[in-house]
């Protein structure tokens, strides 16, 4: 699924839920869903973060530091659990 398709689907689903809230005269939930929709759409429209794992030898040889947010982790995953950056390998 492309980013544009994801945005369209998110918009569509949120609009359906908001319409149902309005039809049920639940305006508080409709406003909350509208705010959530804006946050999701903005997040989808942003360019994804990309980073790499830095070995954190000064702290512990088994730990890694995210190049984007600087947080330390004892794992080498595809995404940073803190900032969501997609990791494209380790520092060379």
- Tell me the whole-structure pTM to 2 decimals: 0.54
Whole-number pLDDT of residue 28: 94
Based on the domain organization, do 37 and 57 belong to the same domain? no
Based on the domain organization, do 26 and 39 belong to the same domain? yes
Answer yes or no: is pLDDT of 81 > 80. Answer: yes
Which one-letter DSSP state was computed for residue 79?
B
Q: Which two tokens stand for residue 20?
A: 């149902």
Domain holding 18, by residue range, is: 3-45
Based on the domain organization, do 7 and 28 belong to the same domain? yes
pLDDT confidence tier of residue 35, bands split at 50, 70 and 90: very high
Closest CA to 85 of 54, 52, 50: 50
Answer yes or no: is pLDDT of 17 > 80. Answer: yes
* Count of C-beta atoms within a 10 Å radius of residue 71: 12
Whole-number pLDDT of residue 47: 81
Based on the domain organization, do 7 and 38 belong to the same domain? yes
Average pLDDT of the residues in 17-46: 92
Domain count, the chain: 2
Rounded distance between C-alpha atoms, residue 88 and residue 92, angstroms: 11
Given strand 86-90, what is the order of strands in its sheet? 72-73, 64-66, 50-55, 86-90
Answer yes or no: is pLDDT of 70 > 60. Answer: yes
């Amino acid at each position: 699924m492309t980013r544009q398709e994801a945005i369209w689907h998110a918009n569509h689903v949120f609009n359906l839920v908001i319409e149902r809230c309005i039809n049920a005269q639940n305006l508080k939930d409709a406003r909350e869903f509208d705010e959530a929709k804006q946050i999701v759409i903005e997040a989808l429209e942003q360019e994804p973060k990309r980073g790499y794992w830095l070995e954190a030898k000064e702290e512990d040889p088994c730990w890694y530091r995210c190049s984007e947010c600087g947080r330390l982790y004892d794992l080498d995953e595809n995404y940073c659990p803190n900032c969501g950056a997609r990791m494209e390998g380790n520092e060379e």
